[in-house]
C-alpha cells in the first residue's frame, strides 16, 4: 500500500489515504516519489477555481525513482529507462494527436482530451498525482532521466514554472539585446527572468513584490527591479527611463493580477510584444483602452496556455546546463511531508515560501 495526500473537494482539508499498487500494463511504470511541487495552481484547485474531478491527488511536476516497470521503457532518444533511474515526467498526458487542435490548428495544448497529472485525474483512478509515496506512470507518459549534473532539488526548485516560463519566452521571441519587463516574481516570473537573461536580453526589469523576491530576481538575472509600493505611473516612468524613454521591447505578465495585463500594455514600447501567462485562473476582468493600448500602439499580444513536450524537454536540458548559474535550487524554501500538505498549501498561499515541495518519502531525500 502507498500513502497519498488527497484533496477531497474544494476548500476542504486534505487527508492522507492508502492506495493499492497499480497493475502495471506494458509501457507503464511505478515511481517512488522524491519530490513533488506545490504551486499556485494547487492553491487555485483548493479554492475551487478550476473544474477538476474531486477527489484528486495533487502534484503535477515531480521527480522520482523508477521502482518497477512494465517491460521495456525508453525515452524519446531511444535510451532505456530502467529501475533505479531518477526521472521526471511531463504531467500532460493523453494529448490525442487526432483532433482539430492537435492536427489542424497544431495547438496541442488546447486538445480537449489532454489530461494532467495532479489536476485532471481523479484519485478514484489511482496514484495519478505527485503528492503520494508512489506515482503510476501510464503507458506513453513521457519520462526523462535527470542528467547526472542536474540534482533533483534544482529541477524541482524551478518546477512547473520552468516549463511555463520557457513557453512564454519562446512566444516572446526575445532577441539579443532587447529589453524585457517581467510582471510577477513568483516561480514563473523568476524563471522568465532567468530564461530572458540566457536568451541574451539586455535590460531585464522585474516588477513585483515582496522585496526578497525582487532581490532573488536579481540573482536570476534581472538588471533592475521595481516594487509594487511604487504606484503604476511611477513604475511606468521608471521603466521608460531604463529603456531609452520608449518602454521595454517585451513585457511578460506572470503575476495573476488582471490589472497587470493593463499595466503590461502601458509599459510595452510602441510595436512591442506582450505575453500573458499569469492568468491561469479567473481572477476577474480589467478595462483596457483599445485605441491607445492596442491599435495605435501597434502592439502584439499573445496568451500562453499550458506547455508541450518540447518545452519540458528543453527545460530539463537548460536546468542541467545552467543550474550552477541560476539559483533554481534556492527557490525551494519549504519542505513538507504528506501529512503536512495543508501547511504546504498555506505556505504558498501566504507567500512564505517561493516554492514549497512535498517529500512523500522523507528518508529518500
Site for Zn ion, rule CB under 5 A: 39, 41, 96, 99, 102, 111, 160
Q: Closest distance between Zn ion and the C-beta of residue 110, in Å?
A: 8
Q: Closest distance between Zn ion and the C-beta of residue 18, in Å?
A: 26
Q: How far apart are CA 62 and CA 65, in angstroms?
A: 10
Which one, 5 or 111, has the nearer CB to Zn ion?
A: 111
Task: Check: CB of residue 277 under 8 Å from CB of residue 304.
Answer: yes
Q: Residue 278's Cα: distance from chain center in Å?
A: 10
How many Cα neighbours within 13 Å face the side chain of 165?
30
DSSP label at 292? I
The residues pairing with 252 across neighbouring beta strands, listed in sequence order, are 182, 275
Task: Check: CB of residue 161 under 8 Å from CB of residue 194.
Answer: no
Phi, psi of 208, deg, nearest 5 = 170, -155
Q: How far apart are CA 292 and CA 118, in angstroms?
A: 41
Q: Closest distance between Zn ion and the C-beta of residue 268, in Å?
A: 26
DSSP label at 175? P
Q: How far apart are CA 118 and CA 171, in angstroms?
A: 26
Beta strands in the chain (DSSP E): 2-6, 15-19, 29-38, 62-69, 86-89, 92-93, 115-116, 134-137, 143-145, 180-183, 204-208, 224-227, 250-253, 273-276, 300-303, 332-336, 355-358
Q: Closest distance between Zn ion and the C-beta of residue 106, in Å?
A: 10
Q: Closest distance between Zn ion and the C-beta of residue 51, in Å?
A: 17
Instruction: Read off the C-alpha cell for 198.
Output: 540566457
Q: Closest distance between Zn ion and the C-beta of residue 161, in Å?
A: 7
Which one, 96 or 317, has the nearer CB to Zn ion?
A: 96
Q: Closest distance between Zn ion and the C-beta of residue 170, in Å?
A: 18
Q: Closest distance between Zn ion and the C-beta of residue 105, in Å?
A: 10
Task: Check: CB of residue 60 under 8 Å from CB of residue 117.
Answer: yes
Amino acid at each position: 500500500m502507498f500513502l497519498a495526500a488527497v484533496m477531497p473537494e474544494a476548500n476542504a482539508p486534505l487527508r492522507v489515504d492508502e492506495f493499492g499498487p497499480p497493475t502495471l500494463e506494458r509501457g507503464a511504470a511505478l515511481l517512488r516519489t522524491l519530490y513533488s511541487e506545490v504551486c499556485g495552481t494547487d492553491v487555485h484547485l483548493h479554492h475551487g477555481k478550476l473544474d477538476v474531478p474531486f477527489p484528486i491527488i495533487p502534484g503535477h511536476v515531480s521527480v522520482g525513482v523508477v521502482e518497477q516497470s512494465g517491460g521495456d521503457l525508453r525515452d524519446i532518444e531511444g535510451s532505456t529507462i530502467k529501475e533505479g533511474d531518477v526521472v521526471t515526467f511531463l504531467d500532460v498526458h493523453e494529448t490525442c494527436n487526432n483532433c482539430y487542435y492537435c492536427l489542424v490548428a497544431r495547438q496541442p495544448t488546447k486538445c480537449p482530451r489532454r489530461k494532467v497529472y495532479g489536476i485532471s485525474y481523479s484519485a478514484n483512478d489511482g496514484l495519478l498525482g505527485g503528492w503520494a509515496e508512489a506515482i503510476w506512470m501510464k503507458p506513453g507518459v513521457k519520462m526523462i532521466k535527470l542528467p547526472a549534473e542536474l540534482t533533483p532539488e534544482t529541477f524541482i526548485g524551478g518546477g512547473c514554472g520552468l516549463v511555463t516560463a520557457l513557453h512564454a519566452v519562446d512566444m516572446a521571441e526575445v532577441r539579443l539585446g532587447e529589453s524585457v519587463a517581467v510582471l510577477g516574481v513568483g516561480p514563473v516570473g523568476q524563471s522568465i527572468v532567468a530564461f530572458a537573461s540566457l536568451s541574451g536580453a539586455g535590460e531585464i526589469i522585474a516588477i513585483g513584490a515582496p522585496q526578497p523576491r525582487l532581490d532573488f530576481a536579481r540573482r536570476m538575472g534581472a538588471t533592475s527591479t521595481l516594487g509594487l509600493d511604487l504606484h503604476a505611473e511611477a513604475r511606468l516612468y521608471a521603466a521608460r527611463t531604463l529603456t531609452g524613454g520608449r518602454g521595454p521591447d517585451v513585457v511578460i505578465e506572470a503575476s495573476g493580477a488582471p490589472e497587470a495585463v493593463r499595466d503590461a500594455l502601458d509599459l510595452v514600447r510602441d510595436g512591442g510584444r506582450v505575453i500573458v501567462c499569469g492568468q491561469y485562473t479567473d481572477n476577474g476582468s480589467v478595462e483596457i483602452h483599445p485605441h491607445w493600448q492596442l491599435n495605435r500602439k501597434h502592439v502584439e499580444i499573445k496568451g500562453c496556455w499550458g506547455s508541450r513536450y518540447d518545452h519540458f524537454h528543453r527545460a530539463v536540458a537548460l536546468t542541467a546546463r545552467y543550474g550552477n548559474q541560476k539559483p533554481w535550487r534556492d527557490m525551494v524554501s519549504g519542505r513538507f511531508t504528506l501529512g503536512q500538505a495543508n501547511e504546504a498549501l498555506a505556505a504558498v498561499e501566504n507567500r512564505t515560501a517561493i516554492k514549497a515541495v512535498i517529500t512523500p518519502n522523507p528518508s529518500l531525500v
